Structure formats: C-alpha cells, structure tokens
Chain A
Amino acid sequence: MFTLNFRILAVAITGFFLGSGSAQAETVSIPVLVPVTGFLSLEGTSQRNGALLALEEAADNLPADLDVQFEVFDTATSPEIAVNAFLRAAEAPNVVAVVAPIFGTQMLALLPLAREDGVPLITISGTASITEQDNPYVFRFFPGDVVVKEAHARYALEVLGAERPALITQTTAYGQSGQAHLSTRFIDAGVAPVLDEAVDVSVNDMLPVLIKAQRAGADMLLLHLHSGPTAQLLRQAASLGLDIPIVAGSALHQPTTADLLTQDELAGSCAETGSSPISGGDTDIDTWTQRYRSRFAIEPDAFALGQYDGVRMVLAALNEGARSAADVRQYLSRETFDGLAMAYKSDGTGNMAHDAVIVCYGSDSRVPRIERRYENVTGVR
C-alpha cells in the first residue's frame, strides 16, 4: 500500500513541475485501452498497432503548439481490468478521447464511465449492443454486425445463392452477437439455416459440427468464429472433402489466420470484413501497409486499419481546433471523415463505418482479393 501512496505523491510532484514549467505547448491525451494479453490479444494487438501508428505519425500533421500524449493500458480479459485501466488512463492531462477495447463486454463496462467523464470512446468492437445503449460517447470505426452481417448474408444469398446454409458461431460475446444478426437476416429472407450451432472457443475438433452440417444437407457454411477455430474448421472441411462454399467472419481475412492453412484449404473460401489492407489496389492503403510492416514487422489487418482511421479522425478534430473531449465528440458526431478504409460518418448512435467488403482466397495466392464491396449498407452517408 505504500506504493500506492508513493504513486499519488509522484503524480503530485510531476504535476507541480509540469504546471510551473512548460506553459506554452497545450497537451492533450489519447490513452490506448486494448486487450494485449489473454484470448483477445491477437485482435487487441492489431488495435494497439493501428492506434500507435496514427498517434506516432500525429506530430507531423498537428499544430506545433499541440502535444499529444498517449500510453497503452492492457485491459486483459475482464470488465474489472478495463475499468481500472480507464480510471488510471483518465488521470492523464486533458483526455480528449480514449481508444477503447475490441472486447464488447469491456465496452459495456466503459460506456457509463465515458458518459460520466464526457470522453468519447474510439473503438472497433463489432458487438452490436454497444451502440444500442443510447450513449453518445461511443464511436465505432469498424462496421458493426448490422453492416458486416448484412454484407455476409447478401453475398451468401445474392451472389452464391444459398438455399440451405449452415450457421456455425462461437459462444463468445463476438459469436453470439453475429449469430443473432445472421440468423434473423436469413430467416427474414425465407432461407432459414438448416443448422444453427454455437461452439466454445476451446473446442478442438470441428468434426461433429461439420458432420451435422453435412447431415442437414447444407449447401453452404456460414462461419462467425474467432481466428483459430475458423482455420480449424476450414482445414477439417477440406480434409472431409466437404465441397461447399464457405463464407466466414472477419477472422479469416486476418493474415495470421491464413498463415495456419495451406493454399488448398484456403482456396475458394470467402470472408466479410471492413477492409483488407494487404489486398492492394489502393495506393494510399498500400503505402500505409508498408509503414505498418516496417513499424511492427507483421502484416496488418482490417482491425488495425479501422483503429488507425478512428484515431486519425480524432486527430483531424484536433487539427480543426478541437481542444477538449466535448469538442472532439462534437466533431466525431457531426463530420464525415475520409479515412483510408472508407468514409466515416456517425449514424447518430456512434456507428461510423457503413461499408463492408467480401474477400475471397483464390487458388494461386495467399492474399485475399476483394470480391465485393457493400457500400453505405445502412444508408447513413
């Protein structure tokens, strides 16, 4: 406990020196709260990298008298740690926005805090319910389930002509949210899934659910699974010789997921996502991808790009003269921002991203090509 008091003392002392010293530069803080440990550390690390890249590049584009401070706080796997991280991060000077975790459950815990503090949360969490809490402080820079699952369903129904789809999801927050949207969407379209099953992330062998899909006479597999389970299911489907189309959730667009599979196993499968930075075809995204690779020595994914765009929009607000959390929130809720992945504009509840893409893997490349774009799915922009 003595450490606790030392910490308070240290904060007080630094505050004293900061206060008496540099009065010239105005300081704003954008803390980064993401899960970099635990079962969401893959997605959380993408999120962190995207945010860091934007913040590290910020200095070049911002007014000289503005100093942007940022620090990364791990939110691990529970709402408790996310709340701790938020309250600690909120002690930074003039917090104008917070990069908030991809983990929907943690977002739900942070929302009331953001409202109390009046600080906007910049996230890429796809969980539908976070923008349904009537909370004006959440801004989502990755298409939510309302958007990507619509694209997912449209591609399956309209392009591939699904008649007997099997829906395989995960029993996590991510999985249940996607399952709810996909299932309703297909039932509304008159094409009720022949199998609608959720599996735990710790499940190793996907054979049971594949055999059930086979028995049900599925003509297509619709997945909404995390990275490892997605790869596992694709591999076992290929091994079984299950020759039906597979349209997966965003996990399959991640290069780390594709790395687990052979070309044969990948070929022909598709995935929904907000963007696919490694797919190429856009000069700005390509140079961004280069910068990302050289900074972090890994391949970027849509989560990183979405979070990058989100932070960039906050920085744009600062460039336009915003100096407080209220200013930034105003800007985010009113303006349209032309990001790298897409143009972002709030639908009034904090959904900023309204475009989704379907990417597919061919038989000759491990980089997915963008097969279809579904722009302005919800008609907001």
Chain B
Amino acid sequence: MTVGTTGKMRILPAWSIPTIVLAVVGASVLSGAIWGGRYDQQLLAMAGVWALLVIGYQFSFGHAGALNLAHGAFFAIGAYGSAIFSRTWGLDFLITGPLAMAFSALAALLVALPVLRLSSHYFALATLAAAQLVLLGVVNLQSLTGGANGLPGVPGLTVFGFAVARGLPNLIVVWALVAAGALVAWKLTSGRRGLVYTAMRETPLAAGTLGIDTSRLRIQSLVVGGAFAGLAGALQVHTLRVVSPEVAQFSVLVICLTMTVIGGRLSIAGGLLAALLLSHSPEWFRGFESYYLAANGAVLLAAVIFAPAGLIGLLAVFSKRPRPLVPAVSPTRDFKPNREGATLEISDVAKSYGGVVALDGVSFSVGPGEIVGLIGPNGSGKTTLANIATGLDRPDRGKITFGEVTLSGRPDYVAARAGLARSFQTPELPVTLSVRDAVATGSRRGDENAWLAQVGFGRSRDQTCGALDHGSRRLVEFARALATEARCVILDEPAAGLSDGQASDLAGLLKNLAAEGRGFMVIDHNMEFLMPICDRLICLDRGRVIAVGTPKDIAGDPAVRRAYFGDPIL
C-alpha cells in the first residue's frame, strides 16, 4: 500500500465504500443521461457494455482466479450471435440477447471442459489459442460474418417489438441490464457463496477436502462469466449498429483485464467505476492530439502504481476493517455427529513417484470412535497416505473405502462429502478471511462459532487468518475440518506448534469427540501426545507398515526403534 494506513483514517464502515462508489457511478450515469448530449450518452452506453464484460470477468478471473484469455472471444461470440440473428431474421432483443448469452456460455463450457485441469499458464495458453481461433473464424468465414469488414445494418435494440432509439432510450436499457447483472453477480458471490470462491482461490489444496467441487465451480464461473460477456457483446453491436472483427481482437481482453485490475478484481462497485472511467479516459485526453493515447497509457500506469489493489483497495484505506461475512451465532448446539460412524478402510495401497517408492502395500483401518496414530520417520509416506486417502493424490494400486463409499481414484470432494475431513501439516487457511469466515467455508450449518469454541480457540474471531500464530492456525483448521460434519478426521501433525497446555487440551478434546463416534487418524512424531490418546499406533517405514499395536507394544518394538534411530552401532 503506497498510502499510509493509520488508524485515524479508518473512519468509515466497510460497507460504505462500495456504496459510495455505486452512488458516484449512478450519479454520473444519471447526470449524463439527463444533461448530456448524444455523445455523452453514447460513451455512457459503451461504459455499460464494458461494465457487464468486467462483471463477467470477475467471475472467471476474479473469483475463480483463472487467467482466462478467451473472455474477449466470448464477447465476440455474443456480438456476432445477436447481430446475425437480429439482422437476418429481425428477431427481438428479448430473443437474441438470451441467445447471445447462451452461445457465449456454451462456448465457455466447450473451452472449460477440456482445459480446466491445466495449471495456470497452460490454461491461459489454451484459452488464448481458443480466442485466436475465434478471431481467425470471424475474419475468414466471410459468408457468415462478413469477413474483416464485418456486417453493416445491425438493427438497434428492439424490445417487445419496440425499436429502442439511439441515445437516452438505449442508454436506459443498457444500464438497466448493468444494474440487473450487478445484482445477479452480487447474489451469486456475496455471503457464504463468496466464501467458497475464496476458499478455492486461496487454498486450492484444502478446498476439495472441504467438500467443494472445485472443477465444477471453476466451470460454473467460466460459464457464468461467458454469459455476461455474451450479453455485453450483444448490447455492444446493437448500440454501435455494426459488428466487425474488432470485437474479437485481443485488445478487448486487454482492456477488460485492465479495467478489472484497476477497479478491483472482486468488487462489483469497483468494476463498474473502472469501466466508467477507463472507457471515458481516452476521450478526455483528445486534447493531447497525436499523443493522446500515449497520455492515456501514462495515466493508466500511474493508476496501477498508486492504486495497485484497485480503486476499491485504495478507498478501503478509509474504511474500518471488514466485519466477517457470516453473523456471530452463540455456541449452543449438540456436537454429536448427525450421521452414523463409518470405517476408513485402507487396503494394499501403493504409490511411487518416478522411481521412488512412497507407499508399498499399506493396509489398515480406522473405525468409528477410534483414534489411530500414524508414526514413522520423515519420508516414510505418512503425508502421502493422507493425500491419497483424501483424494488429493491417486494410488497406483489398492483401494480406499469409507463406509459404503469407494474413495480411491475419485475427486477430493467425494471424500469430504462422505464425511472424511483432514488438516494439513502446514495449515491451509485463506489468509484474507476472518477466522469465523474461514471456518464457515467448511460449515454447512452456520455453526462456526460453536466449533471454534469447542476446539478452544479463544482469540478474536474477527481477525484475519493471516494474522494468526501457528498454533491458532492449527486450531482454526481443526474447527473447520470438524465443521464439515466429518465422521472421521485425518490430522497431520496437530500438536506441532502447540504449547504443552494447548496440546493436552487438544488431547482431551480428541478423546471427547471420539467418544461421540468420530474416528481419528493422527499423524505425529510426538509420542507423549499420542501415547495417552491412541487406541492403536501404526508405524510406517519407507512406505511399509512395520508395526501395528497398542501404544505400549509399539514403544517397545525393536523394528520401530530401528526405523527411528537406525541400527544400534554397538
């Protein structure tokens, strides 16, 4: 942040910033509509088109965090779709608008399905290739698209058979749709729904283990974003009354991306403001004559440098810290699991990376109400086993079931939904979310406060997870895992970083939770922590189970000693 953030400046409540921005945007559009001429109305209508495009991009690029370079192509598909249908068959915008949205959404789906499993840069490349194919298509399929010239004579908007005139009427329709689009986007991304996106974006590993189907969510955001782009494209061609390959140029995406970053990637109000400002700014600099676009670039550069977190981020300096999205509910509920206990069954699981064997025929089970400790030296395969059990990795061989459900080879969210939760060796918490919201990403019943109290988290639940110490993070993560209504929880080194007092509290808690019928698989080195609570201990060494038994048996087992301390030399 380049602007000082002293506490004194934080005088406004968090909700007021977007409200003020929306009011400014609304007032500008209104004043332009009332006092402006055709030119002002045209610029505002085009600003509205950009605004819809940006709102759509906030889904795929903002919320889903995917560098989708095909968003401009979705815009073009909507543009050509609505233009061709209205021009050829004289169809009403009430038909061509939704058609345009459907075309673009379908295109987004077609792009999303094969490429979603790609990691970021390759996803960007694949979407770029798709976008270039669309450009190539509209330029070269001359009989359909009119080629590089485009198609003239696209009618203006017609709604219920009435032609919407250029200027004010057109402006009203466009901004009515912007308002509707903004409302829909807000409904889809605010509150608990928005938390899911944050979890997916900031903790991609943990999201699946909370039962979030991230692939589906990413596809959804691309498709919804595509539909917005399609609507924007349709409005653009009916406002300009011509369609040409310029709508499919990469520059459309570049402008949209710039607006989204300058406005604020997740803020609808910020997106609207940026669309309004940046679609007007080249016009303001026309006084610089031949240097006006360069001047516009310089202002853009200054904007990014002075407001790197977007205009909304810049204004947020004046606001108090945001309150958690989910309301505080007093911790009164029955903590008993609402489902029958189930057994986690691991049979003959093997996994190797390259030539290195990580797991080699591991079999054991964790029953309801049982606490099983998993020990072994570093690199013995403990975390790999946890990853495979929770669907983050696939076994080369073997089978994992939980109750009636087969987990091996299936996506991560399946395990979570079946009731198998986990924590991570390094806690995976969304750093920008408050503690309460972070736990709410796992909760389906709004019981986050109850669980935080239950695990003994005593600090402020309004602070962000990024501000927590290591031990507190563990507790929050544990609360989140329990909030998923897990019947069995895999804990990866839960006692690391805890004080002795905290560790013994945790041990007591585990005992109580197990008594209610939950199973636990606890990975740890700390024998003092494990010994009193575990029903059984399992020792792994180089991917094999070398010992199974009660804590007492294991502690005296020579093979275990050797694995930990090496062969006695003397």
CB <8 Å contact, B40 and A8: yes
B166 within 8 A of A: yes
Minimum CB–CB distance for A54 against chain B, Å: 19
Most chain A CB neighbours (cut-off 10 Å) among B236, B277, B293 = B293
Contacts of B276 in A (CB 8 A): 1
Minimum CB–CB distance for A110 against chain B, Å: 9
A244 within 8 A of B: no
Which parts of A70-111 form the interface with B (CB within 8 Å)? 72-74, 76-81, 83-84, 87-88, 90-91, 104-105, 108-109, 111
CB <8 Å contact, B149 and A176: yes
CB <8 Å contact, B293 and A105: no
B147 within 8 A of A: yes
CB <8 Å contact, A83 and B149: no
Contacts of A243 in B (CB 8 A): none
Contact among A5, A76, A78, A88 with B39 in the assembled complex (CB-CB below 8 Å)? A88
Most chain B CB neighbours (cut-off 10 Å) among A76, A84, A91, A116 = A84
Which parts of B1-55 form the interface with A (CB within 8 Å)? 24, 27-28, 31-32, 35-40, 42-43, 46
Binding stretch for chain A, among B173-181, B278-286, B493-501: B278-286
B153 within 8 A of A: yes
Contacts of B46 in A (CB 8 A): 80, 84
A129 within 8 A of B: yes
Minimum CB–CB distance for A168 against chain B, Å: 15
Query: Known contacts A109-B240, A176-B142; is A80 also within 8 Å of B246 by CB?
Result: yes
Minimum CB–CB distance for B54 against chain A, Å: 16
Q: How far is the CA of A88 from the CA of B249 in the complex (A)?
A: 25
Contact among B139, B241, B280 with A4 in the assembled complex (CB-CB below 8 Å)? B280
CB <8 Å contact, A8 and B35: yes
B242 within 8 A of A: yes
Query: Known contacts A109-B240, A133-B152; is A37 also within 8 Å of B293 by CB?
Result: yes
Query: Known contacts A79-B242, A87-B42, A171-B140; is A104 also within 8 Å of B149 by CB?
Result: yes
Which parts of B238-259 form the interface with A (CB within 8 Å)? 240-242, 244-246, 249, 251
Contacts of B152 in A (CB 8 A): 108-109, 111, 129, 133
Q: How far is the CA of A83 from the CA of B292 in the complex (A)?
A: 17
Please report the number of residue pairs spanning A and B whose Cβ atoms sit closer than 8 angstroms. Answer: 111
CB <8 Å contact, B149 and A129: yes
CB <8 Å contact, A1 and B28: yes
Residue of A nearest to B147 (CB): A176
Query: Known contacts A84-B283, A171-B139; is A105 also within 8 Å of B37 by CB?
Result: no
Q: How far is the CA of A143 from the CA of B92 in the complex (A)?
A: 39
Minimum CB–CB distance for A196 against chain B, Å: 13
A321 within 8 A of B: no
CB <8 Å contact, A116 and B166: yes
B150 within 8 A of A: yes
Q: How far is the CA of A111 from the CA of B153 in the complex (A)?
A: 9
How many interface residues does chain B have, given as a range?
Answer: 35 or more
A47 within 8 A of B: no
A230 within 8 A of B: no
B119 within 8 A of A: no
A27 within 8 A of B: no
CB <8 Å contact, A3 and B286: no
Q: How far is the CA of A302 from the CA of B149 in the complex (A)?
A: 23
Contacts of A37 in B (CB 8 A): 290, 293
Minimum CB–CB distance for B258 against chain A, Å: 16
Q: How far is the CA of A31 from the CA of B142 in the complex (A)?
A: 33
Contacts of B40 in A (CB 8 A): 4, 8
Contacts of A114 in B (CB 8 A): none
Query: Known contacts A37-B290, A91-B39, A108-B242; is A171 also within 8 Å of B148 by CB?
Result: yes
Query: Known contacts A4-B32, A37-B293, A133-B153; is A84 also within 8 Å of B24 by CB?
Result: no
A50 within 8 A of B: no
CB <8 Å contact, B240 and A8: no
Contact among A5, A90, A108, A174 with B150 in the assembled complex (CB-CB below 8 Å)? A108
Residue of B nearest to A83 (CB): B240
B526-552 vs A, CB cutoff 8 Å, 1 = contact: the mask equals 000000000000000000000000000
A233 within 8 A of B: no
Minimum CB–CB distance for B165 against chain A, Å: 10
Q: How far is the CA of A78 from the CA of B292 in the complex (A)?
A: 16
Contact among B35, B236, B244 with A5 in the assembled complex (CB-CB below 8 Å)? B35
Contacts of A36 in B (CB 8 A): 290
Contacts of B280 in A (CB 8 A): 1, 3-4
CB <8 Å contact, A77 and B42: no
Q: How far is the CA of A105 from the CA of B246 in the complex (A)?
A: 9
Contacts of A176 in B (CB 8 A): 142, 147-149
A172 within 8 A of B: yes
Query: Known contacts A105-B149, A105-B244, A176-B142; is A1 also within 8 Å of B27 by CB?
Result: yes
Contact among A84, A104, A173 with B43 in the assembled complex (CB-CB below 8 Å)? A84
Contact among B36, B38, B39, B241 with A109 in the assembled complex (CB-CB below 8 Å)? B241
A127 within 8 A of B: yes
Residue of B nearest to A37 (CB): B293
Q: How far is the CA of A172 from the CA of B142 in the complex (A)?
A: 11
Minimum CB–CB distance for B133 against chain A, Å: 14
Contacts of A198 in B (CB 8 A): 140
Contact among A4, A88, A116, A172 with B148 in the assembled complex (CB-CB below 8 Å)? A172
Minimum CB–CB distance for B448 against chain A, Å: 41
CB <8 Å contact, A72 and B27: no
Minimum CB–CB distance for B480 against chain A, Å: 43
Q: How far is the CA of A313 from the CA of B312 in the complex (A)?
A: 53
Residue of A nearest to B28 (CB): A1
B286-300 vs A, CB cutoff 8 Å, 1 = contact: the mask equals 100110110000000
Residue of B nearest to A128 (CB): B149
Minimum CB–CB distance for B155 against chain A, Å: 10
A112 within 8 A of B: yes
Residue of B nearest to A77 (CB): B246
A175 within 8 A of B: yes
CB <8 Å contact, A79 and B246: yes
Minimum CB–CB distance for A84 against chain B, Å: 6
Contacts of A108 in B (CB 8 A): 149-150, 152, 242, 244
Minimum CB–CB distance for A5 against chain B, Å: 6
Q: How far is the CA of A108 from the CA of B280 in the complex (A)?
A: 23
Q: How far is the CA of A80 from the CA of B79 in the complex (A)?
A: 13
A177 within 8 A of B: yes
Residue of A nearest to B148 (CB): A173
CB <8 Å contact, B28 and A4: yes
Q: How far is the CA of A176 from the CA of B151 in the complex (A)?
A: 13
Q: How far is the CA of A81 from the CA of B241 in the complex (A)?
A: 13
A1-19 vs B, CB cutoff 8 Å, 1 = contact: the mask equals 1011100100000000000
Contacts of B27 in A (CB 8 A): 1
Q: How far is the CA of A155 from the CA of B277 in the complex (A)?
A: 53
Contacts of A104 in B (CB 8 A): 149
Q: How far is the CA of A174 from the CA of B282 in the complex (A)?
A: 26
Minimum CB–CB distance for A55 against chain B, Å: 16
Residue of A nearest to B156 (CB): A112
Query: Known contacts A4-B32, A84-B39, A171-B148; is A72 also within 8 Å of B139 by CB?
Result: no
CB <8 Å contact, A83 and B42: yes
Most chain A CB neighbours (cut-off 10 Å) among B35, B147, B148, B166 = B148
Residue of A nearest to B42 (CB): A87
CB <8 Å contact, A74 and B292: yes
List 24 A–B pairs whose Cβ atoms lie within 8 Å, in order of A's numbering: A4-B28, A4-B36, A4-B280, A8-B36, A37-B293, A74-B286, A74-B292, A77-B249, A79-B246, A80-B236, A81-B282, A84-B43, A105-B245, A108-B149, A108-B152, A108-B242, A109-B244, A116-B166, A129-B149, A133-B152, A173-B149, A174-B148, A177-B149, A198-B140
- By a beta-carbon cutoff of 8 Å, the part of chain A in contact with chain B is 1, 3-5, 8, 36-37, 72-74, 76-81, 83-84, 87-88, 90-91, 104-105, 108-109, 111-112, 116, 127, 129, 133, 171-177, 198
Having A84-B42, A108-B150, A112-B153, one finds 5 other A-B pairs with CB under 8 Å, namely: A72-B289, A74-B293, A80-B246, A88-B286, A108-B152
The 10 closest A-B pairs by CB, nearest first: A1-B28, A87-B39, A108-B152, A109-B242, A173-B148, A78-B246, A105-B244, A173-B149, A176-B147, A88-B39
